């Protein structure tokens, strides 16, 4: 392995000498601040590979006045949506040799959100990603400096200049329309209702009723993760003969509702059709196999980092920022065995 005899670990000058370019050219290649000619990029990449060169994160931070890190602010780290989005963002960050610093927020302690944001910003990240999946994400956005590269994930349309949003409302509408098309006179919603968002699955549920000119029933509000409440909701709805279709706000809620329906003596799907949302890995293994709706949270995370990196690169290169945009990640229904058609009398 060729390297400078004056030191044991290769540095930028070693890479430059082997590639036949200047040290500043290698630096520009590493930082991505200015376009480097393709032949030089190829020679630099080969030299880095031969030397086993590892860029110094500290040195680059001193040069850029910031670390090659991205702060992610998100609540409910154990939630499927949060975990899957994290994996996607981390995969994209790793390709750019960036480190993801995930700062957990607590929706039950809203007073701590501002302090958590300050802590996450104290390490001088190159940019910030905020998951607007709940109230804590909405609050976190208020404390992010306006001049810092930022991407909002989720939330309502237009909550950020740069935003990755899932087609959650479209998914809720599709699932409700599907049950109505099967002949059900109404569809009961059981799940979380997010008043501050205009892109929730509950919004889509309402949209379907309004499009059909039907009266929107009162939703049964159950917090995510409160499965005992969902079981009770299933028992109560099971005692109502007029309830023949239920749209649950998550697959976990759907399964808990099914348990409650069974306790009330109602069969799924013979007596009541039940569909979920998120298409968790256990959904097809349930009995009956649960019809659900897939959201690609992993892709949302990947896109979020890529959109943020565009801003970071423009800022470091002192060029105009990319145009503001909102990217929508589509989902898809997964039809299985937990719903059935009914006769229209």
Q: Is the pLDDT of residue 6 over 80?
A: no
183-212 pLDDT, tens per residue? 999 999 999 987 767 889 999 999 999 999
As assigned by CATH, the class of the 63-166+297-332 domain is: alpha beta
**pLDDT score, position 32:** 59
Q: Give the pLDDT confidence score for residue 64 in this predicted structure.
A: 52
Mean pLDDT of 240-257: 97
In the prediction, which pLDDT does 4 show? 45
pLDDT of residue 291: 98
Check residue 2 and give its pLDDT.
Answer: 44
pLDDT at 66: 64
Report the chain's mean pLDDT, rounded to a whole number.
90
**Is the model more confident about 236 or about 7?**
236
pLDDT tens-digit series, residues 206-239:
999 999 999 999 999 998 789 999 999 999 999 9
Give the model's pLDDT for residue 288.
97
pLDDT tens for 130-142 read 999 888 999 999 9
Selecting from 3.40.50.2300, 3.40.50.720, 3.40.640.10, 3.40.50.1000, what CATH number does the domain 168-294 have? 3.40.50.2300
pLDDT band of 83, cuts 50, 70, 90: very high
Lowest mean pLDDT among 40-44, 51-55, 173-177, 260-264: 51-55
pLDDT at 3 over 50: no
Name the percent of the chain lying above pLDDT 90.
68
pTM here?
A: 0.73
The domain spans of the chain are 63-166+297-332, 168-294
Confidence band, pLDDT 50/70/90 cuts, at residue 69? very high
Q: What is the 3-state secondary structure (H, E, C) of the chain?
A: CCCCCCCCCCCHHHHHHHHCCCHHHHHHHHHCCCCCCHHHHHHHHHHHHHHCCCCCHHHHHHHHCCEEEEEEEEECCCCHHHHHHHHHHHHHHHHCCCEEEEEEECCCCHHHHHHHHHHHHCCCEEEEEEEECCHHHHHHHCCCCCCCCEEEEECCCCCCCEEEEECHHHHHHHHHHHHHHCCCCCCEEEECCCCCCCCCHHHHHHHHHHHHCCCCCCCEECCCCCHHHHHHHHHHHHCCCCCCEEEECCHHHHHHHHHHHHHCCCCCCCCCEEECCECCCCHHHCCCCCEEEECCHHHHHHHHHHHHHHHHHHHHCCCCCCCCEEEEECCEEECCCCCCCCCCC
The whole-number pLDDT of residue 63 equals 54
> Which of 33-42, 50-59, 212-221, 310-319 tops mean pLDDT?
212-221
Check for a shared fold between 63-166+297-332 and 168-294.
yes
pLDDT at 168: 92
Average pLDDT over residues 64-79: 83
């Amino acid at each position: 392995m060729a390297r400078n005899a004056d030191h044991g670990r290769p540095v930028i000058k070693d890479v430059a000498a082997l590639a036949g370019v200047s040290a500043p050219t290698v630096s520009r290649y590493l930082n991505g601040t200015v376009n480097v000619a393709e032949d030089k990029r190829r020679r630099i990449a080969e030299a880095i590979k031969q030397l086993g060169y590892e860029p110094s994160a500290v040195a680059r931070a001193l040069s850029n006045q910031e670390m090659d890190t991205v702060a992610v602010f998100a609540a409910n780290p154990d939630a499927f949506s949060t975990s899957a989005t994290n994996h996607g963002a981390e995969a994209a960050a790793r390709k750019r040799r960036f480190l993801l610093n995930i700062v957990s927020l607590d929706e039950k302690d809203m007073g701590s959100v501002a302090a958590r944001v300050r802590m996450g910003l104290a390490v001088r990240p190159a940019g910030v990603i905020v998951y607007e999946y709940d109230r804590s994400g909405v609050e976190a956005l208020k404390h992010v400096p306006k001049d810092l590269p930022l991407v909002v994930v989720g939330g309502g349309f237009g909550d950020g200049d740069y935003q990755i949003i899932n087609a959650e409302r479209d998914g809720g509408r599709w699932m409700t329309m599907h049950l109505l098309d099967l002949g059900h006179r109404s569809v009961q919603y059981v799940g979380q209702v997010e008043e501050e968002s205009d892109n929730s699955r509950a919004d889509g549920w309402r949209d379907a009723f309004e499009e059909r000119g039907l009266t929107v029933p009162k939703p049964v509000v159950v917090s995510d993760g409160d499965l005992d409440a969902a079981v009770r909701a299933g028992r109560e709805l099971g005692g109502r003969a007029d309830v023949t279709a239920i749209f649950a706000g998550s697959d976990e809620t759907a399964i808990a509702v099914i348990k409650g329906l069974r306790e009330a003596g109602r069969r799924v799907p013979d007596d009541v059709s039940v569909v979920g949302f998120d298409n968790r890995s256990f959904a097809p293994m349930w009995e009956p196999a649960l019809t659900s709706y897939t959201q690609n949270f992993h892709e949302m995370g990947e896109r979020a980092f890529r959109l943020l990196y565009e801003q970071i690169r423009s800022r470091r290169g002192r060029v105009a920022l990319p145009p503001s945009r909102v990217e929508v990640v589509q989902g898809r229904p997964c039809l299985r065995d937990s719903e059935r058609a009914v006769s229209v009398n």
